[in-house]
C-alpha cells in the first residue's frame, strides 16, 4: 500500500473531558495521497463499520461541541465530539467525527472509544477515509494485552501487544489530569504513555499546565502538550472543556464554534452524526464569546459551570481519585510550541 507523499501537518486535539487533554482528536492531515493499487474500500463500507460498532446507551454527557478546523486562516474542516459516562457500566466514552475539504485532504474520520473508571482502555474503533483510501482499526483490551485488527484497502493485519499499567487512550488525557492527585493547577507537569488511536501504538507524552489566560472572555488554563513529537498549545476550562488547540509549527488550529459556523460550506452530515452519536451534539458553551453570553436575571441563579469559569483565576481544580502510576508529575517543564 502506498504511503502519503507529503504530510503538511496533523492536529492532535486534546479535549479534556473525557476525548482528554486534548486529545479530542481532531486528526487533521493536510496532504495528498497517491492512488493505491488494488480495489479501494468504499465510503459506504466505512459507514457500515461505524454503524455496527456504535451502540447507543443512556449515558451522562460530560462535554460536547463542534469545532472549526483552520489551516492558517483558511477554514478546511470541522470536528464534532462528545465525552460521556455510563453509570450502569461504569465506563467513560468518547466519540468524535472529523470532516475536511480538498484543502484539508478530503478526510472523513471517526473514533469511538471506551475506558473504565480508572481510564484503563476497554475498546476503540477508528475509521478513516482519505479520498478513496480507507483504514479501519478495531481494538480490544484484556488486562495488559491489546489486540488490534487493522484493515487498509484490501490488506488486513492483527497487532497483539502488551501495554504497561497506566497506559490510556490519548483522547482521555485531560480527564487523566483532572483525576490526578496533583489536579489541574498552574505549574503542574505530567509525563505519560498513551495509545495513538490512528495507529494503535503507544507513545510517550508530556503535558505542562501553564498560566491562566482569558480567551474570548473565558478564563482558561493554558496547557502545552507534546505527543508523538507534535507540540500544541491548548486552552481548556477548569472542568476540562476545550476552547482551542493550536500547532504553531504547521499553522493548524481547532476552535470551539457554533455548529452552523463549524460546518459552513460543507454538505450536511447530520445522518452520519446521528448514527455515531444517537443525536446531534449541542454547541460547547465556549463557542460563544463571554461578551455575547446572556447574563442571568436577578431572579435566576447562575449555572455552576459559569461560576467555575468566572472564578477560574482563583480556582485549583480538586483532584480526583489516584491516577495510574504512569501519569505522574515530572520535575522539569518543557515550553512547547515556540
Report d(CA 179, CA 192) in Å as an integer.
Answer: 14
Q: Which three cell numbers stand for residue 120?
A: 484503563
For residue 300, pLDDT over 90 is answered with: no
Q: Which three cell numbers stand for residue 50?
A: 461505524
Report d(CA 274, CA 77) in Å as an integer.
Answer: 19
SS3 202: strand
Region of residue 291 (left: phi > 0; alpha: psi -120 to 50; beta: else): alpha
For residue 200, pLDDT over 50 is answered with: yes
For residue 244, pLDDT over 80 is answered with: yes
Query: For residue range 314-324, what is the model confidence (pLDDT) as tens digits?
Result: 334 434 432 33
Domain definitions of the chain by residue range:
43-329
Query: For residue range 267-295, what is the model confidence (pLDDT) as tens digits?
Result: 999 999 999 999 999 999 999 998 754 54
Q: Structure pTM? A: 0.74
Contact 83, 18 (CB under 8 A): yes
* CA 102 vs CA 30, 74, 76, 117: distances in Å: 9, 12, 8, 39
With cut-offs at 50, 70 and 90, classify the pLDDT of residue 45.
very low
Beta partners for residue 209, in sequence order: 223
For residue 304, pLDDT over 80 is answered with: no
For residue 168, pLDDT over 90 is answered with: yes
pLDDT score for 291:
74
Amino acid at each position: 500500500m502506498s504511503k502519503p507523499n507529503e504530510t503538511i501537518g496533523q492536529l492532535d486535539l486534546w479535549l479534556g473531558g473525557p476525548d482528554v487533554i486534548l486529545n479530542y482528536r481532531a486528526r487533521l492531515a493536510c496532504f495528498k495521497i497517491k492512488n493505491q493499487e488494488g480495489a479501494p474500500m468504499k465510503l459506504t463500507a466505512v459507514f457500515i463499520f461505524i454503524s455496527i460498532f456504535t451502540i447507543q446507551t443512556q449515558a451522562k454527557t460530560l462535554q460536547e461541541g463542534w469545532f472549526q478546523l483552520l489551516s492558517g486562516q483558511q477554514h478546511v474542516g470541522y470536528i464534532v465530539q462528545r465525552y460521556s459516562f455510563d453509570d450502569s457500566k461504569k465506563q467513560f466514552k468518547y466519540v468524535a467525527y472529523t470532516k475536511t475539504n480538498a484543502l484539508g485532504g478530503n478526510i472523513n474520520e471517526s473514533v469511538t472509544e471506551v475506558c473504565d473508571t480508572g481510564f484503563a482502555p476497554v475498546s476503540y474503533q477508528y475509521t478513516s477515509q482519505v479520498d478513496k483510501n480507507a483504514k479501519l482499526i478495531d481494538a480490544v483490551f484484556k488486562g495488559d494485552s491489546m489486540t488490534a485488527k487493522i484493515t487498509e484497502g484490501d490488506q488486513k493485519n492483527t497487532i497483539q501487544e502488551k501495554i504497561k499499567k497506566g497506559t490510556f487512550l490519548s483522547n482521555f488525557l485531560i480527564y487523566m489530569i483532572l483525576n490526578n492527585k496533583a489536579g489541574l493547577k498552574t505549574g503542574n507537569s505530567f509525563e505519560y504513555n498513551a495509545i495513538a488511536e490512528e495507529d494503535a501504538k503507544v507513545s510517550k507524552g508530556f503535558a505542562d499546565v501553564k498560566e491562566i489566560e482569558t480567551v474570548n472572555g473565558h478564563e482558561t488554563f493554558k496547557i502545552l502538550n507534546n505527543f508523538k513529537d507534535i507540540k500544541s498549545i491548548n486552552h481548556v476550562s477548569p472542568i476540562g472543556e476545550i476552547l482551542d488547540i493550536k500547532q504553531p509549527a504547521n499553522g493548524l488550529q481547532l476552535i470551539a464554534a457554533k455548529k452552523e459556523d463549524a460546518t459552513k460550506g460543507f454538505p450536511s452530515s447530520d445522518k452520519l452524526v446521528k448514527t455515531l452519536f444517537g443525536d446531534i451534539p449541542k454547541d460547547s458553551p465556549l463557542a460563544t464569546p463571554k461578551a455575547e453570553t446572556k447574563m442571568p436575571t436577578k431572579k435566576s441563579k447562575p449555572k455552576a459551570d459559569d461560576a467555575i469559569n468566572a472564578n477560574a483565576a482563583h480556582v485549583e481544580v480538586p483532584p480526583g481519585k489516584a491516577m495510574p502510576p504512569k501519569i505522574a508529575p515530572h520535575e522539569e517543564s518543557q515550553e512547547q510550541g515556540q
